[in-house]
Amino acid sequence: MTDTSADLVILGGGSGGYACAFRAAELGLSVTLIEKDKLGGTCLHRGCIPTKALLHAAEVADSARESEQFGVKASLEGIDIDGVNSYKDGIVTKLHKGLQGLAKAHKINYVEGAGTLVDANTVEVDGTRYTGTNVVLATGSYSKTLPGLEFGGRIIASEQALNLDYVPDKVVVLGGGVIGVEFASVWRSFGAEVNIVEALPHLVPNEDEYCSKQLERAFRKRGIKFSTGVKFTGAEQSESGVTVSLENGETIDADLLLVAVGRGPNTAGHGYEEAGVSLERGFVRTDERLRTNLPGVYAVGDIVPGLQLAHRGFQQGVFIAEDIAGLNPPVIDEAGIPRVTYSHPEVASVGLTESAAREQYDKVETFTYDLAGNGKSQILKTAGAAKIVRAADGPVLGLHLIGDRVGELISEAQLIYNWEALPEDVAPLVHAHPTQSEALGEAHLALAGKPLHVHG
């Protein structure tokens, strides 16, 4: 008879679930990991990884199209979407196999099937009950839509957008957040006409307003159209296309409507409420240590209110494993989690926006370093900036970057924020030349009172 008891039962094998499983196993705990689809979850199969593969293919297309500005004669014959999808799917397959191998290496009891929480110690899968001293809920999220707007036909979510076998001529993207902006960037690079509709005043509205305005400026130059501060009112499909209506009376015709209005917590149908888990607007309520109201039951990732980011869920999974093992890890600072939008140009940030900092602190200082003064950025021919927000005579409160490849700078930025560094602490650090990281060094030099490559 199979032993179905373990120290830890995890419902959901996405970034948060498998990270929790692997770390718990490393700490000597027995683990049962339950997943109804594929190990790796949305991030690996329908989110982060495949979208970034598309974005890289889009970058290659732009490089071919614009090669003459670098003195290289090349031409873009077109987009082989079958080839793009093959490249994308190959990456996902390779990473999936790697995860499966790690699960075996960690001796995880991996169970395929849809799980239902029965009580604080039990998850049932296809009639078999798996019991754990502790249970972790990690069931992820789904693509949301708006009331009266149903997916189907020419109205699609990001999951369908990832698997299109053609490049649409015209697309309307409903939602100017991370998902909407990234797909808009891909399709424009592939040659489509793109129009974004965002109800809030700016694209990527959760970012610092400076970065939002700079992204809008860059998108205008790329020919990406967008309407901000206007609400969607309806969509009508026909055999030949879809017509989108806005509250200002404008209508937009397109081949497809991508609905990118955010992701909802995947908590329905898993027995959470029936087992007594406290929910709020569909999210699982937890304390700062990710404990639910049920003893021994934790929640991780997109079902917990806050940033819906794979690396957030991953770190939370590690945190829970270490907490259960008695290591007493420090609470995760949500503001200290890096955020990246992988469009062209990229937007990357960590910490507080300027407006949020001014709400919390009496005196705030900012400095914005233009990438026009950065040699590597000029080599790459990217515009952008590094904006630093600090408390007056205090630590750095937020770092906000825009420009091609600035997502690679966010690791240093998160260290600066999370270690509560003063600009004076960062200014003496040596940044390799020529790199874009010098922009961070220059910005901190300026805030420390010794600006160098700064005009005005």
175-195: per-residue pLDDT in tens?
999 999 999 999 999 999 999
Cβ atoms of 304 and 10 closer than 8 Å? no
Give this prediction's pTM: 0.96
Mean pLDDT of 156-173: 97
**Catalytic residue check, 433:** yes
Are 342 and 55 spatial neighbours (Cβ–Cβ below 8 Å)? yes
Q: Please provide the DSSP assignment of 330-358 as one string.
A: PPP-GGGS-EEE-SSSEEEEEE--HHHHH
- For residue 452, the model assigns a pLDDT of 82
> CB pairs under 8 A, 24+ apart, for 324-329?
324/7, 324/8, 324/24, 324/29, 324/134, 324/298, 325/24, 325/27, 325/28, 325/29, 327/27
Known binding residues for NAD(+) are 175-182, 198, 262
On the question of pLDDT at 55 being above 90, the answer is yes
- Quote the CA–CA distance of 343 and 303 in Å, as a whole number: 26
> CA geometry: angle at 19 spanning 13 and 24, to 5°?
110
What percentage of the chain's residues is helix, strand, coil (to nearest 5)? 35, 25, 40
**Are 153-260 and 344-446 the same fold in CATH?**
no
Helix, strand counts (H, E) of the chain: 14, 24
User: What's 235's DSSP letter?
Assistant: E
pLDDT above 80 (res 202): yes
Q: How many CB atoms lie within 10 A of CB 30?
A: 17
The answer on pLDDT for 455 being more than 70 is no
How far apart CA 37 and CA 261 sit, in angstroms, is 24
Separation in Å, CA 274 to CA 155, 301, 422 = 34, 21, 49
CATH number for the domain running over 3-141+262-332: 3.50.50.60
Mean pLDDT score, 328-344: 97
Which residue in 202, 400, 433, 453 is the catalytic one?
433
| pLDDT at res. 451 | 85
Q: Enumerate the H helices of 12-47 as residue ranges.
A: 15-26, 41-46
C-alpha–C-alpha distance, residues 193 and 187, integer Å: 8
- CA–CA dist 344, 423 (Å, integer): 29
Q: Would the pLDDT of 6 be above 80?
A: yes
Q: In whole angstroms, what is the distance from residue 296 CA to residue 5 CA?
A: 15
- Both tokens of 140, joined, read 């992820």
> DSSP H helical segments within 244-288, as ranges?
272-275
Instruction: Give pLDDT, residue 1.
Output: 35
CA of 112: how far to CAs of 46, 124, 325, in Å?
A: 18, 12, 26
The residue whose two tokens read 């700062």 is 288
User: In CATH, what number does 153-260 get?
Assistant: 3.50.50.60
Task: Express each pLDDT in 373-412 by its tens digit.
Answer: 999 999 999 999 999 999 998 999 999 999 999 999 999 9
Q: Which residues fall in the annotated binding site for FAD?
A: 52, 115, 139-141, 302
Question: Is a pLDDT exceeding 50 seen at residue 81?
Answer: yes
How many Cα atoms within 13 Å fall on the side-chain side of residue 112? 6
Residue 2 in this model has a pLDDT that exceeds 60: no
Mean of the per-residue pLDDT values of the chain: 96
344-446 is classed in which CATH architecture? Answer: 2-Layer Sandwich (3.30)
Residue 12 in this model has a pLDDT that exceeds 80: yes
* Nearest Cα residue to 244 out of 313, 163, 348, 146: 146
Residues 35/112, Cβ–Cβ less than 8 Å: yes
Write down how long the chain is.
456
Complete DSSP assignment for 47-87: SHHHHHHHHHHHHHHHHHHTGGGGT---------HHHHHHH
pLDDT tier, 450 (very low <50, low <70, confident <90, very high otherwise): confident
Average pLDDT estimate for 12-16: 97
Q: Which two tokens stand for residue 285?
A: 């309520």
Query: In this model, does residue 453 exceed pLDDT 90?
Result: no
- What's the mean pLDDT in 261-285? 97
Task: Specify which residues 142 forms β-bridges with.
Answer: 264
Indicate if the pLDDT at residue 89 is higher than 80.
Answer: yes
Cα–Cα distance between 432 and 439 in angstroms, integer? 11
CB-CB contact of 153 with 237 (8 Å): yes
Instruction: Indicate if the pLDDT at residue 312 is higher than 80.
Output: yes
Tokens of 166: 């053609």
Segments making up each domain of the chain, as ranges: 3-141+262-332, 153-260, 344-446
What average pLDDT does this structure show over 93-114?
A: 97
How much of the chain exceeds pLDDT 90, in percent? 97
* Per-residue confidence (pLDDT) for residue 188, from 0 to 100: 98
How many percent of the chain have pLDDT more than 70? 99
Tell me, what's the pLDDT at 445? 95
